[in-house]
């Protein structure tokens, strides 16, 4: 009696191929899940990095020294021409302008989203630029520091000027002395305030 092993061998081979195909499919599904998890982790990392950039920039700009200088601009310097400012007042104003220029340069780079920061800074920058504009233009003359001096501040002011008319009502709010204006933005765009 001759046993034909050929059909049995074909059945085993088909069964083995089905198992290999199923194993390959399971491996692909596992790899897909891992890629999705890594993608989600990268997105969360970007979000938390953005929040860190925002908070770092805020702590840089909202220091006590710069707030004191802004108060000086609002209460004293707006009443007199910059040629009448003392040397200490000029140094304070120069530091304020340099800080806003640095912030403008950082925002211009795209590392930090500009929207939530302008929302809080708009009134303060607008008022400071109004008072300090003649001094800024004087310093940007070629015989002084040149036209690129504090160009980040000019860019920042230009961004504020280009705010839509419907957003203008926000401009009359006073400059916020804390970061509370960012809480809603962070909650909306970054999954809650727990990252702060």
pLDDT at 165: 42
Q: What is the mean pLDDT of each run of 10 residues along the chain (196 residues)?
A: 72 90 92 90 77 68 81 88 90 90 84 76 85 90 88 87 56 42 55 44
Contact 160, 125 (CB under 8 A): yes
Query: Are 92 and 69 spatial neighbours (Cβ–Cβ below 8 Å)?
Result: yes
Angle separating helix axes 87-109 and 151-161, nearest 10 degrees? 70
Residue closest to 155 by CA, chosen among 168, 173, 169, 136: 136
The encoded tokens of residue 143 equal 């015989």
Residue 31 sits at φ, ψ, to 5 deg, of -65, -40
Phi, psi dihedrals of residue 127, rounded to the nearest 5°: -70, -45
Q: Domain residue spans in the chain?
A: 48-195
Angle of helix 87-109 relative to helix 114-139, nearest 10 degrees? 140
User: What's the rounded Cα separation, in Å, for the pair 10 and 33?
Assistant: 35
SS3 content of the chain, % helix, strand, coil (to 5): 80, 0, 20
User: Token digits for 56?
Assistant: 């770092």
Residue 54: per-residue pLDDT: 67
Question: Would the pTM count as exceeding 0.75?
Answer: no
What's the pLDDT score for residue 167?
Answer: 55
């Amino acid at each position: 009696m001759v046993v034909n092993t050929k059909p049995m061998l074909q059945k085993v081979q088909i069964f083995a191929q089905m198992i290999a195909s199923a194993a390959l499919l399971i491996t692909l599904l596992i790899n897909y899940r891992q890629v999705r998890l890594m993608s989600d982790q990268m997105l969360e990392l970007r979000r938390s990095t953005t929040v860190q950039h925002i908070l770092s920039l805020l702590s840089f700009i909202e220091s006590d020294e710069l707030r004191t200088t802004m108060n000086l601009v609002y209460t004293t310097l707006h009443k007199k021409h910059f040629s009448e400012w003392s040397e200490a007042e000029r140094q304070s104003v120069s530091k304020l302008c340099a800080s806003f220029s640095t912030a403008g340069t950082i925002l211009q780079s795209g590392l930090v989203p500009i929207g939530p920061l302008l929302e809080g800074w708009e009134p303060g920058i607008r008022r400071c630029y109004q008072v300090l504009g003649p001094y800024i233009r004087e310093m940007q003359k070629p015989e002084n520091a040149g036209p690129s001096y504090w160009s980040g501040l000019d860019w920042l002011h230009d961004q504020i000027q280009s705010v839509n008319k419907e957003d203008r009502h926000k401009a009359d709010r006073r400059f916020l002395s804390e970061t509370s204006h960012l809480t809603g933005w962070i909650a909306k765009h970054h999954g809650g305030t727990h990252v702060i």
